[in-house]
Amino acid sequence: MTPDSVDDIPPQGIDLFAEVACIWEVNARKVGNVYPGVSFRNTSAVDFLLSAAAIRNIFRFPGSSGTARLIEYAVRETRATVGQNTNLGIVLLLAPLVNAHETPLTFRDAIRAGLQRLDIADAKIVFEAIRLAKPGGLGDAPEQDVRNEPTVTLLEAMRLAADRDLVARQYANGFADVFDFGVPAFTEAFAQFGCVEAAIIDSQFRWLATYPDSLIARKNGIPVAEDVQRRAAEVLQLGGIATPEGRAAGIALDKQLRSDGNKLNPGTTADLITACLFVALRENKVTPSTPFRWQVPDWL
């Protein structure tokens, strides 16, 4: 993809921020997720890193395509690069953020305005992209199932799914959970720990303790997702990763999440964290050169 004119060139760093957010997320030693040295049966950290590079190419010139087309192109580029779905949730979350044109609006208002413009044609494009990605644990939807042609706008379809899917919920509420919960959780943890990785890990426990993970719920049922939520809350009650007791509880939770073929992978939470990292970078709360590694002897 190339820009049609100089006006189509995005603010410096938008595509970089998207790639850095993806790189940071997969490199952080989060419970139940892939990170360097810890893989799933057919997926390694390299697959996620290649996917990050692939979607940066798509997000380089967001003004030349609508949000739905960005999602479609990113899904296709990811499959061409790694041959599987590694980042559908990330792409669905990042595309409206990358494509938000701010002047004269604020960033958040521009996001809301972009979501309001999504129509039935956009829904058809995104439904097809989701089918192409073949996400795990998709299940059946009572209304506007992605296996069928949509009859409502993309925003309306997301609103119908918002009570069972945290990614759809961000479309429905204008990314309120990202801006009002996730980004503050990350920045507060960064102020406490002084590095990105620890802030990501701390954020993961806060997300899990507050919102049952959608992917866990789809694959295993809501009671299982709520049990993970309870155990994440227990980690925080023990002081979280700031205390030896909290870290020990976190390691125990990691073992539970990795049992039975990683069926308890909290993948939606990881996607939401990526969106929060993009916003934090976009709003200059952190920079790509910010210290990353968390130096602690008793963690994963």
Q: Please tell me the distance from the alpha carbon of residue 266 to that of residue 251, in angstroms, as a whole number.
A: 15
- Tell me the CA distances in angstroms from 56 to 18, 74, 217, one per residue in order: 6, 9, 30
Considering the domain boundaries, does residue 288 fall inside one?
Answer: no
Q: Please tell me the distance from the alpha carbon of residue 62 to that of residue 67, in angstroms, as a whole number.
A: 8
Short-list 181, 209, 182, 223, CA closest to 21 = 182
pLDDT at 9: 40
Q: Where are the alpha helices (DSSP H) in 194-264?
A: 196-210, 214-220, 222-237, 244-257, 259-262
Q: Please tell me the distance from the alpha carbon of residue 127 to that of residue 72, in angstroms, as a whole number.
A: 9
Q: Mind listing the pLDDT tens digit for each residue in 260-278? A: 889 999 999 999 999 999 9
Q: What is the mean pLDDT of residues 144-153?
A: 84
Q: What is the tally of helices (H) and strands (E) in the chain?
A: 16, 0
pLDDT at 155: 97
28 lies in which domain range? Answer: 6-282
CATH number, domain of 258, equals 1.10.4200.10
Considering the domain boundaries, does residue 23 fall inside one?
Answer: yes
Q: Mind listing the pLDDT tens digit for each residue in 88-102? A: 999 999 999 999 987
Considering the domain boundaries, does residue 122 fall inside one?
Answer: yes
Return the higher-pLDDT residue of 8 and 214. Answer: 214
Stated pTM of the model = 0.94
pLDDT at 8: 43
- Tell me the CA distances in angstroms from 288 to 16, 218, 294, one per residue in order: 9, 34, 16
Residue 19 tokens read as: 């790639």
Is pLDDT above 90 for 63?
Answer: no
**What three-state secondary structure class fits 10?**
coil
Return the higher-pLDDT residue of 178 and 138. Answer: 178
pLDDT at 102: 77
Considering the domain boundaries, does residue 294 fall inside one?
Answer: no
Q: Mind listing the pLDDT tens digit for each residue in 103-126? A: 789 999 999 999 999 999 999 999
Considering the domain boundaries, does residue 298 fall inside one?
Answer: no
Q: What is the mean pLDDT of residues 17-33?
A: 98
Q: What is the mean pLDDT of residues 160-185?
A: 97
**Domain count along the chain:** 1
pLDDT at 65: 81
Considering the domain boundaries, does residue 295 fall inside one?
Answer: no
Is pLDDT above 60 for 240?
Answer: yes
Residue 62 tokens read as: 């967001």
